[in-house]
Chain A
Amino acid sequence: MKPKPNDVILHTVTKLAAVIIFTFSIDLFWAGHHFPGGGFIGGLTTAAGIVLLYLSFDIERIQTNLPIDYKKMAALGVLISVATGMGGMIYGDNFLEQAFGYFDLPVFGETELATAVLFDIGVAFAVIGTAITIITSISEDEL
């Protein structure tokens, strides 16, 4: 049996850095409408955070603590994107017609809400699912 390697520094910093990366990816995702950012880059940053966790700890431990089926996640993302495109058709608009409006929310005040966010959520899910599926299926290859 191999002795357990002493990875305290790497593990501690990974825990802190993963929190910062996930926060930044959410910030990028929400900034997408008015500033640089959006679903694609937000999803890729989230995937980068998950890959950092995979690199620092082992794959089995991350998959027991974060039990997500990334293939289903990619499929769900595509489904959400298509469904938001269909949403406009109910009201007689074209496919992928986007709607937005101003609402008075309790905490945020007057906020602009657009259905483009739902489309972006679909894009982000598809990107995360695809990236992590590629990386785990390469890394788990057994000869």
Chain B
Amino acid sequence: MKESAEVIAGVFILLGTIISLISAIGLVRLPDVYTRSHAASKSSTVGVLFILIGTLLYFLISEGYFSIRLILGIIFVFLTAPVGAHVISRAAYRANVPLTKSSVEDELKDYFQEHEKERG
């Protein structure tokens, strides 16, 4: 029982750390704020979720202890991390942070200029 729990939890936690590492590499390698927030929010959320699920399964199988706090943590991270990234990218766009040079289209730009005209 103990060994199977260690194997299952080990697979989940290893997967989570690898995804988090990929997220960190993306944060260093990508060119501008928006692509970086794409890398940082999605993959690190999934990485943390995998690590938490691995911990939950380990204690559930080896000790029969069902941690409601870990479930709550999984739901909370899943709920709030994308919204944090959304708010940061939005603040960056409103502060006129430029897009990377290779980007093709900026559909929000026309909408924002119209909005500025309305405000006067």
* Chain A interface residues toward B at CB < 8 A: 2-3, 9-10, 13, 16-17, 20, 23-24, 27
Contacts and interface: CB of A to CB of B under 8 A. Distances in A.
Contact of A3 (B80, B87, B119): B119
A24 B83 CA distance: 20
A23 B68 CA distance: 12
B74 to A, nearest CB: 11
Given A2-B119, A3-B118, A3-B119, A20 B83 contact: no
Interface of B: 69, 72, 75-76, 79-80, 83, 86-87, 115, 118-119
- Interface class of chain A by DSSP: helix
B116 to A, nearest CB: 10
A2 B118 CA distance: 10
B79 A13 contact: yes
B72 A24 contact: yes
Contacts, number: 24
A13 B119 contact: no
Contact of A17 (B80, B86, B115, B119): B80
A31 B1 CA distance: 29
22 contacts: A2-B119, A3-B115, A3-B118, A3-B119, A9-B83, A9-B86, A10-B83, A10-B86, A10-B87, A13-B79, A13-B80, A13-B83, A16-B79, A17-B76, A17-B80, A20-B72, A20-B75, A20-B76, A20-B79, A24-B69, A24-B72, A27-B69
B71 to A, nearest CB: 11
